[in-house]
Amino acid sequence: MKLHSIISALCVPLLLVSCEKELDLKYHDIAPLTVIEAQLTPDGAKVGITYTTPMDEPMDRTLLTDAVVTLTDLTDGTVYDLHTDSEGFFVDPTPGITGHDYRLAVERAGFRYEADATMYPPTEIKSLEFNWIKMPYDDVAVLKGEFYDNDTYDSECYWIKLYRNGEIYMWGEMDDRNAIDGVSTFITMTTRRDTDEEDDDTVLFDGDIITVTVSPISLAMHDYLEALQNGSNGPAMFSGDKCLGYFMATSPVSDSIVFHPDEIPEYK
């Protein structure tokens, strides 16, 4: 699995404007689509609703609050009404229950959207370690993480997110096909040894804290994340009227490692 910098997509416009020939790109006017980003965890449910933004306009992340949002536990029949918090997210503090199936329903402006998800149990992070590897241009610090694969579900997938001092750093998705003796491994390159030659988006300094979060996800969610990294909106995860976005039910786990470049061993 290759982790991707959350900042990398922002570099594309810079590459486009560096071309010698000026391109006059014209876009079709398309009515904005609703975007629903929803998750259920042991901390409860949180749903953000926005509109898509035209490509020639600045990104608008204004949250829409004029909706009716419900979460139904399909396993025991309980229905939860979500209410907006001070930031504009629809929330409910009731923890998700491992193994239960849930349905999220959003009604807004005469449209209805639904998505189902199974609540996955947490995994356990076994280890995190840095190693220096020699590349043609410099030594690079490689972060290796191991975590236990849950054998309760076949073809379980994971969303791996790395935070640098509390801010998102890199992320990626993986499945459990390469698990060995019940342990899955991810490896990603981070910073160069010569920080003067490193990009600010990926550079690490002595004392930086890298926090790794592992979230078990469905194959559908895996495919959705994979599509996003390839520049696509991803497969439709909601039924009913057309919208974009996702709904996942998961139990994230986290662990941290402090970056001390002088204490990192050389990879052999």
Q: Are 262 and 206 in contact (CB under 8 A)?
A: yes
CA 136 to mean position of chain CA atoms: 31
pLDDT for the residue 26? 47
Contact (Cβ atoms closer than 8 angstroms) between residue 44 and residue 92: yes
Do 85 and 91 form a contact (C-beta atoms < 8 A)? yes
Residue 155 pLDDT: 66
Sequence ranges of the domains in the chain: 33-120+239-245, 122-231+252-263
Class of domain 33-120+239-245: mainly beta
pLDDT reported for residue 90 = 98
Nearest to 70 by CA among 104, 114, 38: 104
Q: Which token pair is 212?
A: 């790794």
Q: Assign 161 to helix, strand or coil.
A: strand
Q: Rounded CA gap, 38 and 100, in Å?
A: 17
Q: Which pairs from 22-31 meet CB under 8 Å and 24+ separation?
A: 27/54, 27/55, 27/56, 29/54, 30/54
Output the CATH code of domain 122-231+252-263.
Answer: 2.60.40.10
Beta strands 111-118 and 101-108, pairing class: antiparallel
Same fold, 33-120+239-245 and 122-231+252-263: yes
Task: Note the pLDDT of residue 268.
Answer: 60
Please give the pLDDT value at position 186: 94
Per-residue pLDDT of the chain in tens (268 residues, 90 and over written 9): 555 543 333 333 333 333 444 444 444 556 788 999 999 999 999 999 999 876 555 666 789 999 999 999 999 999 999 999 999 999 999 999 999 999 999 999 999 999 999 999 999 999 999 999 999 989 999 999 999 987 766 668 999 999 999 999 999 999 988 888 889 999 999 999 998 887 788 899 999 999 999 999 999 999 999 998 888 887 899 999 999 999 999 999 999 999 999 999 987 6
